């Protein structure tokens, strides 16, 4: 089995995890989960970067030792990634003993080979970046990434790595291995900058004590510079054995997945270090773009922060994972908005995916007593089309995932979800059931369950929690991640005879009117409805209102409220008829409306009813209801309605029941 070793950048612990951190970890997790599905022996490394001037100062400000502070902060990062379902295999900390030993051994290797020399350095230092800033990169006296922070002038006697010796070897490696730096735009940036010339870089600090100590035999007055220390974590995670040329079965790394702002360290300093130490280079460094918020890069020091855990607590981890992978094209920057998140949640997850699953499960339960039927009869063109969309989605998404184009892969998967929803409308299972076409109905239901199962396997890297729930309600054994990606093409073989389980909404809809998109306070539609009821109840229960009501009741004791009475002549104006629902479908773009085609015996009509929250469209077909047949035509959301059905609410208005007839009567029969 081929191995796949993927790493992320390790995060500074001077602040809590924000959305920028989460985006990187989610992207890497999607890749790692896909690689496992594709049959790779995958190892996923992430962790925290704990040695820095920032950390030492922050710990001092909070009255803690640096290690005590790091223990607290590392716990917060680990907890955040657990809540986001990040499937890392090791959470490494740069304070781990094996990492300290690895760093010191690499320093020794470089020293023995003559690539480390002592010298004096002076320059401007950005504490937020934990790096010296080249004069050519300084913008109005500030760091380009942290314009609100003053740069510090630093003069030190340090040890330097001979980076200048590796200009040509680096250019040669990049030229011969174009996949080493991705996307191509990052590769071009790095190559152009290398061609400008390389300077030796500091690998130690003499004014700090919080860091990995330099090997005693070289100089016990120095600590390893945080950036040099951090990069070496990838070797530690791979199983590097200090003192021997053993790097573990995982090395070289197959993919370093990092932000575009640190490509220089990963694509120049890091490979040069490995060349100098005679260690194989990683295969690929992918520099992803930034998630911005209102156009600004996520940054604690700049005050641009979105708490990912707040979103998880409101909408679940899958919602955030899905939106970030959809909204931020891989390798490019993308802007995050709470409104965009809510729209994607309602449109894609609640409507497209959630409704597809719920409708299909409900129909299998209703028409086949919850058991997925075996294939019967000959496939029709409609069936072949859905199956081909499924096969294409599996192939195309696989190719895009291998290319690390996660956004496009998600789009390919969604073509199957969209096609399955269209298949329901075109195949009209409710009509097949009414007409007694049991064999055809069985084929349709099997095709729908197969499409969902295929989609769930492919979606499991993106939305693992929901995928497992769907897998469970389908009645399939194990978990979707147990299925190999290529085996997904044959998933239909698992389906006949399995027992489905009805469930509530996978993604309860959000109320767009009462959700606050400025702060990310989301309100579910059902909760918003309850809130409105509470408001009305409070208004009704005000003292003044109660007094007026009591006065009215006292005045009307023993007599009916005259204004509610109608004459027999008024009632005679209503033309109430029995009608059969022959077609039903949700009105596109709405949550509550259903378009019904009714048979009144002498004619067929279209009416629009606000009952989608209480009845699925397929449940309505075949019901004999009572309608007001002589209601003036009206347009509801642009759809013509010629009539009104009658229904009754429970007292709390949580349930609605259609008024139907209990014995067969001809369509169009008058109700009187």
Catalytic annotation present for 146? yes
Instruction: Name the residue among 482, 340, 463, 471 with its Cα closest to residue 410.
Output: 463
Establish whether 143 is a catalytic residue.
Answer: yes
297 part of the active site: yes
- Does the bond joining 188 to the residue before it have cis omega, within 30 degrees of 0? no
Q: Under a CB-based contact definition with an 8 Å cutoff, are residues 125 and 131 in contact?
A: yes
Instruction: Give me the catalytic one of 21, 266, 326, 400.
Output: 21
C-beta of residue 394 within 8 angstroms of C-beta of residue 485: yes
- Which of 142, 173, 297, 469 is catalytic? The answer is 297
- Dmax over Cα atoms in the chain, in whole Å? 108
129 is an active site residue:
yes
Catalytic residue among 25, 99, 143, 400: 143
In b/e form, how buried is each residue of 446-466, taking b as 16+ CB within 10 angstroms? bbbbbbbbbbbbbbbbbbbeb
Catalytic annotation, pick one of 300, 310, 438, 604 = 300
DSSP symbols for 509-529: PB-TTTSBTTTTB--BHHHHH
8 Å CB contact between 116 and 161: yes
114 φ/ψ angles, rounded to the nearest 5 degrees: 80, 25
Distance CA 488, CA 460 (A): 12
Provide the phi-psi class of 134: left if phi over 0, else alpha when psi is between -120 and 50, else beta: beta
Distances in whole angstroms, Cα of residue 226 to Cα of each of 72, 162, 345? 20, 17, 40
Q: Which of 25, 78, 146, 400 is catalytic?
A: 146
Catalytic residue among 51, 70, 129, 330: 129
Alpha-carbon gap, residue 573 to 98, rounded angstroms: 88
With beta carbons less than 8 A apart as the criterion, state whether 523 and 511 touch.
yes
C-beta separation of 196 from 231 below 8 A: no
Residue 126 annotated in active site: yes
The answer for residues whose C-beta is within 8 angstroms of residue 395's C-beta and 6 or more apart is: none
Catalytic residue among 70, 126, 267, 288: 126
330 is catalytic: no
Instruction: Decide if 300 is catalytic.
Output: yes
Residues involved in catalysis: 18, 21, 126, 129, 143, 146, 297, 300
């Amino acid at each position: 089995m081929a191995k796949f070793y993927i790493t992320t950048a390790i995060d500074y612990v001077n602040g809590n995890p924000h959305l920028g951190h989460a985006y990187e970890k989610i992207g890497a997790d999607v890749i790692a989960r896909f690689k496992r599905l594709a049959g790779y022996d995958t190892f996923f490394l992430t962790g925290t970067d704990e040695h820095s001037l920032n950390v030492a100062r922050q710990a001092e400000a909070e009255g803690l030792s640096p290690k005590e502070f790091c223990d607290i902060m590392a716990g917060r990062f680990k907890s955040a990634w657990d809540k986001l379902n990040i499937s890392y295999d090791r959470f490494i900390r740069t304070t781990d003993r094996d990492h300290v030993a690895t760093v010191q051994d690499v320093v020794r290797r470089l020293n023995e080979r003559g690539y480390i020399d002592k010298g004096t350095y002076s320059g401007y230092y950005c504490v937020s970046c934990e790096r010296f800033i080249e004069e050519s990169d300084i913008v109005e006296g500030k760091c380009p990434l942290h314009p609100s922070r003053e740069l510090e002038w630093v003069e030190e006697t340090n040890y330097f790595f001979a980076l200048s010796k590796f200009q040509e070897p680096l250019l040669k490696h990049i030229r011969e291995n174009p996949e080493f730096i991705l996307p191509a735009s990052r590769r071009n940036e790095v190559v152009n900058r290398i061609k400008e010339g390389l300077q030796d870089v500091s690998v130690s600090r003499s004014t700090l004590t919080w860091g990995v100590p330099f090997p005693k035999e070289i100089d016990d007055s120095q600590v390893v510079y945080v950036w040099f220390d951090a990069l070496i974590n990838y070797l530690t995670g791979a199983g590097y054995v200090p003192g021997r040329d053993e790097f573990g079965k995982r090395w070289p790394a197959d993919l370093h997945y990092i932000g575009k702002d640190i490509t220089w360290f990963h694509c120049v300093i890091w490979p040069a270090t490995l060349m100098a130490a005679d260690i194989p280079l990683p295969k690929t460094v992918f520099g992803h773009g930034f998630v911005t918020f209102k156009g600004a890069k996520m940054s604690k020091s700049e005050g641009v922060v979105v708490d990912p855990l707040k979103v998880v607590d409101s909408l679940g981890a899958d919602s955030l994972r899905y939106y970030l992978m959809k909204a931020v094209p891989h390798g490019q920057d993308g802007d995050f908005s709470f409104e965009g998140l809510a729209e994607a949640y309602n449109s894609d997850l609640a409507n497209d995916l959630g409704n597809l699953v719920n409708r299909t499960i409900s129909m299998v339960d209703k028409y086949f007593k919850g058991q997925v039927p075996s294939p019967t009869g000959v496939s029709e063109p409609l069936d072949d089309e859905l199956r081909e969309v499924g096969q294409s989605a599996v192939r195309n998404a696989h190719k895009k995932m291998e290319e690390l184009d996660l956004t496009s892969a998600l789009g390919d998967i969604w073509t199957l979800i969209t096609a399955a929803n269209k298949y329901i409308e075109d195949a009209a299972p409710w009509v097949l059931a009414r007409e007694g076409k049991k064999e055809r109905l069985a084929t349709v239901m099997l095709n729908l369950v197969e499409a969902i199962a295929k989609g769930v396997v492919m979606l499991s890297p993106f939305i693992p929690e929901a995928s497992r729930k769907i897998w469970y309600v389908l009645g399939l054994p194990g978990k979707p991640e147990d299925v190999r990606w290529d085996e997904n093409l044959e998933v239909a073989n698992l389906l006949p005879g399995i027992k489905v389980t009805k469930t509530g909404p996978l993604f309860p809809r959000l109320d767009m009117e009462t959700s606050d998109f400025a702060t990310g306070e989301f309100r579910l539609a059902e909760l918003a409805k309850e809130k409105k009821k509470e408001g009305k109840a409070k208004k009704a229960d005000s003292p003044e209102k109660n007094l007026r009501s009591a006065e009215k009741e006292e005045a009307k004791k023993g007599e009916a409220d005259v204004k509610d009475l109608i004459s027999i002549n008024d009632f005679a104006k209503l033309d109430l008829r029995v009608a059969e629902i022959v077609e039903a479908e949700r009105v596109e773009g709405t949550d509550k409306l259903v378009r019904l085609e009714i048979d009144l015996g002498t004619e067929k009509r279209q009416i629009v009813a606000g009952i989608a929250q209480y009845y699925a469209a397929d449940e309505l077909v075949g019901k004999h209801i009572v309608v007001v047949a002589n209601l003036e035509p009206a347009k509801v959301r642009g759809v013509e309605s010629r009539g009104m059905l009658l229904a009754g609410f429970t007292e709390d208005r949580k349930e609605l029941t259609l008024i139907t007839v209990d014995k067969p009567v001809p369509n169009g029969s008058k109700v009187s």
